[in-house]
Amino acid sequence: MNRYKEISEFRKEFDLITNWFHYPIATFLCVILSNTFITPNIITGLAISFELLAIYLILTNFIEYIFIIVILLQLGWIFDLMDGMMARFKKMGFYHPTHPSNKGYYLDAVSDHILKFMIIAALGYELSKNHEFGLEIGMLVLVIHAITQTEHTLRSLIKKGSTQFQNNNNISTHIALAMNNIYLFYLIFIPINRIDLLLIFFGAFEVLLFLKRIILFWINEP
């Protein structure tokens, strides 16, 4: 229990579902692995493997493996939460006190973004088999996600040394975080085989968040 509380201190704030459901599982697994040879990079590798396997199953036989796909994608998110906690807890990689390294941070961040694009593309391809506008919906969401991620990356670079937004821990913030967490959309819509709703709602919410970020930036920055 003490180790669980200790590792819990290294969590980051996400949406309520992640904080209440995914993070407790991730923390419990970190406790189990904290005294083993498993490193944060190995955990990142496992997260990548889970999601690559989910992509393979989406492309080969989505209906037959639909619930396995959901489990694999959720495991990918849980292990993605774990690698950062483990690195901070063990003071490894980016968090090493004397010899910090960006390699693990790079692997985690780059793979996370690439895998999201790959999963959206795979879901769009699967939707194109059964929906008249499936291919168009998939491509549109890919473009929207690319735009929002580009804006987020460039804004982060611009904000270095500039005014930082207040990270208010209120219900509107948690709603915005949930809207931006595609793993929650996987959890809701894949089990009921509604890829169309998954992509449409996620794309629509990303557009709203994109507009919100632009407005906040212009209001808060000098």
Q: Residue 161: how many CA atoms within 13 Å on its side-chain side? A: 2
Banded pLDDT at 41 (limits 50, 70, 90): very high
Q: Is 37 exposed, middle or buried (0-12, 13-18, 19+ CB in 10 A)?
A: exposed
| Those residues with Cβ within 8 angstroms of residue 25's Cβ, 6 or more apart along the chain or in another chain | 78
pLDDT for the residue 32: 93
Average pLDDT over residues 115-125: 97
- Global pTM reads 0.89
* SS3 per residue for the chain: CHHHHHHHCCCCCCCHHHHHHHHHHHHHHHHHHCCCCCCHHHHHHHHHHHHHHHHHHHHHHCCCCHHHHHHHHHHHHHHHHHHHHHHHHHCCHHHCCCCCCCHHHHHHHHHHHHHHHHHHHHHHHHHHCCCCCHHHHHHHHHHHHHHHHHHHHHHHHHHCCCCCCCCCCCHHHHHHHHHCCHHHHHHHHCCCCCHHHHHHHHHHHHHHHHHHHHHHHHHHCC
**Is residue 203 packed enough to be buried (19+ CB in 10 Å), middle (13-18) or exposed (0-12)?**
buried
Lowest mean pLDDT among 9-18, 167-176, 200-209: 167-176
Q: Which CATH architecture has domain 2-220?
A: Up-down Bundle (1.20)
Tens-digit pLDDT profile for residues 2-36: 888 888 888 888 888 898 999 999 999 999 998 89
Spans of all domains in the chain: 2-220
Instruction: Note whether 85 and 30 are within 8 A (CB).
Output: yes
- Residues of the chain above pLDDT 70, percent: 92
Query: What is the reported pLDDT for 162?
Result: 46
Encoding tokens for residue 20?
């209440």
Per residue in 96-114, pLDDT tens? Answer: 878 878 888 899 889 999 9
- Joined together, the tokens standing for residue 4 give 């669980």
